[in-house]
Amino acid sequence: MSEQRKVQRRRLLKAGSINFHRAATIDCRVRNLSPSGACLEVVSPVGIPDDFVLVINSDHLKLPCHVIWRTATRLGVEFTPSEGGGVSGSEGPAGRHKLLSGQDNR
């Protein structure tokens, strides 16, 4: 499989949650992250919709996502603009970009 990402992702392992339908939550692990997307590890992708919000509490992030690909235990997602115009958390847009691009040392 050839690499098709526009932006290189940095590897990490963080706890996250997939939130959808206002109340449903599925735990996940964030395996890698970039300003444009992430790879998420889940027990099973069954029941996870194509569009949801990824929450990374340790970084105070809420990231609207769209699923690009799925395997038995992983999801590749692209971040999408929210109705309010972007992702939320981590000291505004500049702080989020710094964090997602790996320039923040948290």
Q: How confident is the model at residue 43 (pLDDT cuts 50, 70, 90)?
A: very high
**Mean pLDDT of the 72-79 span:** 97
**Mean pLDDT of the 38-45 span:** 96
pLDDT digits (tens, 9 = 90+) for 17-40: 999 998 899 999 999 999 999 999
Q: How far apart are CA 57 and CA 59, in angstroms?
A: 5
- What's the pLDDT score for residue 22? 84
Q: How far apart are CA 32 and CA 43, in angstroms?
A: 17
**Mean pLDDT of the 46-55 span:** 96
- Strand pairing category for 88-89 and 10-20: unpaired
The phi-psi region of residue 39 (left if phi > 0; otherwise alpha if psi is between -120 and 50; otherwise beta) is beta
Phi, psi (5° rounding) for residue 3? -75, 125
Whether residue 69 has pLDDT greater than 50 = yes
Short-list 22, 7, 6, 10, CA closest to 105: 10
